[in-house]
Amino acid sequence: MKKKLLSLLLVAGMALSLVACGGGDKKETDNKEDASNKEDAIRVCVVYSGNLGDKSYNDSCNIGSTKAKEDFGIELKSLEGTTAEEWKANLLSACEDGYDLVICSSSNFEEYLKEYAPMYPDTKFAIIDTTVDAENVVSISFAQNQGSFLAGAAAALFTEHSEIEGVNDDAVIGWVGGMDIPVLHDFYVGYEQGAKYINPDIKVLQSFAGTWNDPLKGKELTLAQYEQGADIVMNVASGTGPGILEAATEAGKYAIGVDLNQDNDQPGHVLTSMVKRVDTACYSAIKAVVDGTFKGGTVSYLDVAGEGVSLTDFSVIKDALGDQFPEEILDQVKEIEEKIISGEIVVKNYEGFGPQN
């Protein structure tokens, strides 16, 4: 009887052992499948000439790449840098790490990409806001001059309403940029032209902070422009921009946001924002690699007609001002937008920019 009981226990033990081994094999197989899926995922690295958290250009790019990660299951890495040395090092690091696609978020990478893209022919590259002519590079540019034309026109219209608190009788508006680079001059050319389309005699103040990452500098430059008679200033400064918007609240004046919808960043003091769909550019570059339609040596140009640039709907400032908000601004901006799309209004470009590039 004891021997029979011992035999039954041994059989039961072996059965449990086999079940345990079977479970272990399944777990290992699942791990191998997970690892295989991860290895098969397209690997994308975005290199930034600034930091995330700017509530502007960089965050817009990150929104696009993050959405692509969610939609396509890509492996995504972001490399942030605030100096030229960091931009170059991060780009080279991404190249050496063998990413399928490297996205250069801004024109600050132009010269580095021209130098290094030919050295990594098996890597696909995308660059935003400028053009790099190489077989493995897709370039995506924007008609920021057109969007800024709308912003300049809106600013010029708004500054005429001195009955609104914080708006003076002077025909003066301002503009503060981050780094002094060509793409920001394309912003300014459109902004100035749009303002003068409304009032040929208007004065447009211009300042560059020389950095993407100094809100205090942005605030200082903006307050100085308010002192010179401006009552509304456009922000084109990425991480320096929050200081520009803060200055508007501090001085009881107004600002215009950029890249993302910044109307709620300083509610009641941001007239509108010139939205630039950097998120769309980033997303479309990744999608092209996923779909197998990536074609190097091509240039995309996202304009007003293609909804690459636009103004926000003024709803936040309307709520803040109530009956004082000049409704005619909405009609006039819409009319100007339609004229740009039809070609009746031709917005000037800064040298080197435009659809021909």
Q: For position 72, which CATH number holds?
A: 3.40.50.2300
Identify whether 12 is part of a domain. no
User: What residue type is 159 in one-letter code?
Assistant: T
Q: Indicate the number of domains in the chain.
A: 2
pLDDT of residue 104: 98
Residue 260 confidence (pLDDT) above 90: yes
Identify whether 227 is part of a domain. yes
Identify whether 348 is part of a domain. no
Encoding tokens for residue 218? 């942005």
Task: For residues 53 and 171, state if they share a domain.
Answer: no
Task: For residues 69 and 148, state if they share a domain.
Answer: no
Task: For residues 164 and 104, state if they share a domain.
Answer: no
The residues pairing with 232 across neighbouring beta strands, listed in sequence order, are 254
Q: What is the pLDDT of residues 14-60, one digit of tens each?
A: 333 333 333 333 333 333 333 334 568 999 999 999 999 999 999 99
Q: What is the pLDDT of residues 167-217, one digit of tens each?
A: 999 999 999 999 999 999 999 999 999 999 999 999 999 999 999 999 999
Give CA–CA dist 136/121, Å, rounded.
7
Identify whether 210 is part of a domain. yes
Identify whether 256 is part of a domain. yes
Task: For residues 132 and 188, state if they share a domain.
Answer: no
Task: For residues 151 and 195, state if they share a domain.
Answer: yes
pLDDT confidence band for 117 (50 / 70 / 90): very high
Task: For residues 235 and 265, state if they share a domain.
Answer: yes
Task: For residues 87 and 168, state if they share a domain.
Answer: no
Residue 3 confidence (pLDDT) above 60: no
Identify whether 11 is part of a domain. no
Helix (H, G, I), strand (E, B) or coil at 68: helix
Segment 114-135 shows an average pLDDT of 97
What Å distances lie between residue 93 and 48, 86, 107, 114, CA to CA? 13, 10, 18, 16
Task: For residues 248 and 328, state if they share a domain.
Answer: yes
Helix axes 182-198, 328-342, angle to 10 degrees: 120
Residue 298 confidence (pLDDT) above 60: yes
Give CA–CA dist 188/348, Å, rounded.
10
Q: What is the pLDDT of residues 71-115, one digit of tens each?
A: 999 999 999 999 999 999 999 999 999 999 999 999 999 999 999
| High-pLDDT (> 70) share of the chain, % | 89
Identify whether 119 is part of a domain. yes
Identify whether 153 is part of a domain. yes
pLDDT of residue 9: 38
Task: For residues 176 and 122, state if they share a domain.
Answer: no
Residue 133 confidence (pLDDT) above 60: yes
Per the CB < 8 A criterion, the answer to whether 46 and 61 are in contact is yes
Task: For residues 180 and 130, state if they share a domain.
Answer: no
Segment 232-260 shows an average pLDDT of 97
Task: For residues 160 and 271, state if they share a domain.
Answer: yes
Task: For residues 214 and 266, state if they share a domain.
Answer: yes
Q: What is the pLDDT of residues 221-237, one digit of tens each?
A: 999 999 999 999 999 99
Domain span including residue 256: 144-276+305-342
pLDDT confidence band for 356 (50 / 70 / 90): low
Query: Which of 168, 239, 167 is closest to 209 using CA atoms?
Result: 239
